[in-house]
């Protein structure tokens, strides 16, 4: 299962015994976007007229777009190669239709999400999976980040939630056990599609230090 984000572009988890959760570092992509936005705004401030563009701005955009495209390609290839290596035949990808419309994340976070084309990444992963016979399920992901995988809490709205997100990107269960928050989300995305995918022991086995992959 995949949970998509910003600092961690991808959190990948499996109910396969012994599978170590994997995080793809999204910070280089975020940093490149921040640089692009800052420089573009600076260049536009010196321009007049309706279009407010120039050859330098277009060149900057082209360079940024090539970087993003390459980053997404490498990410999708890494994921599909790993699934093939582990013999995993079904991939569940969490999708939030409100990514670009989300307003309660704050303006700065919104800008990051808008500039990171998660829909394109999903499309690339799905295409590469199809080529090698891996089934892809696009799963609506509401409440997967709020509910607790370690407590086997159903990934749906609760009157009171068993766990909570704490500092440094961690999620604490009702019993005080801690798991990476994005890994928690990816487990819950799997469970939203297939509620019986994990046993209690299987979920606990995912509460290990994830493998962080840097692609830049």
pLDDT digits (tens, 9 = 90+) for 5-20: 999 999 999 999 999 9
Split into its structural domains, the chain has a count of 1
Residue 178's φ and ψ, nearest 5 degrees, are -115, 140
CA dist., res. 86 & res. 78, Å (int): 12
Burial 140-178 (b: 16+ CB within 10 A, else e): ebbbbbbbbbbbbbebeeeeeebbeeeeeeebbbeeeee
Q: How far is CA 15 from CA 72, 119, 156, in A?
A: 25, 25, 20
Listed as ranges, residues in the chain with pLDDT below 50 are 100-106, 110
pLDDT confidence of residue 67: 94
pLDDT for position 57: 86
pLDDT score recorded for residue 201: 87
Instruction: State the residue range of the domain holding 171.
Output: 2-213
The span from the CA of 134 to the CA of 131, in Å, is 8
Question: What's the pLDDT score for residue 50?
Answer: 67
The predicted model scores a pTM of: 0.87
Residue of 192, 155, 195 whose CA lies nearest to 171: 155
């Amino acid at each position: 299962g995949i949970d998509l984000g910003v600092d961690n572009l991808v959190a990948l988890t499996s109910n396969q015994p012994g599978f170590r959760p994997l995080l793809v570092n999204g910070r280089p992509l975020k940093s490149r976007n921040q640089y692009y936005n800052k420089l573009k705004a600076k260049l536009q401030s010196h321009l007049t007229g309706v279009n407010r563009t120039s050859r330098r701005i277009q060149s900057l955009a082209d360079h940024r777009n090539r970087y993003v495209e390459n980053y997404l390609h490498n990410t999708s290839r890494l994921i599909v190669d790993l699934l093939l290596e582990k013999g995993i035949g079904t991939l569940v990808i969490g999708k939030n239709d409100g990514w670009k419309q989300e307003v309660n994340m704050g303006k700065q976070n919104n800008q990051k999400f808008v500039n990171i084309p998660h829909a394109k990444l999903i499309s690339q992963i799905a295409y590469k999976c199809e080529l090698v016979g891996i089934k892809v399920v696009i799963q609506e992901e509401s409440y997967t980040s709020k509910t607790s995988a370690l407590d086997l809490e159903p990934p749906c709205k609760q009157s009171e939630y068993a766990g909570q997100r704490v500092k440094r990107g961690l999620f604490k269960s009702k019993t005080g056990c801690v798991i990476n928050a994005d890994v928690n989300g990816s487990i819950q995305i799997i469970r939203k599609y297939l509620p019986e995918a994990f046993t209690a022991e299987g979920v606990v086995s995912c509460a290990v230090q994830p493998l962080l992959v840097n692609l830049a």
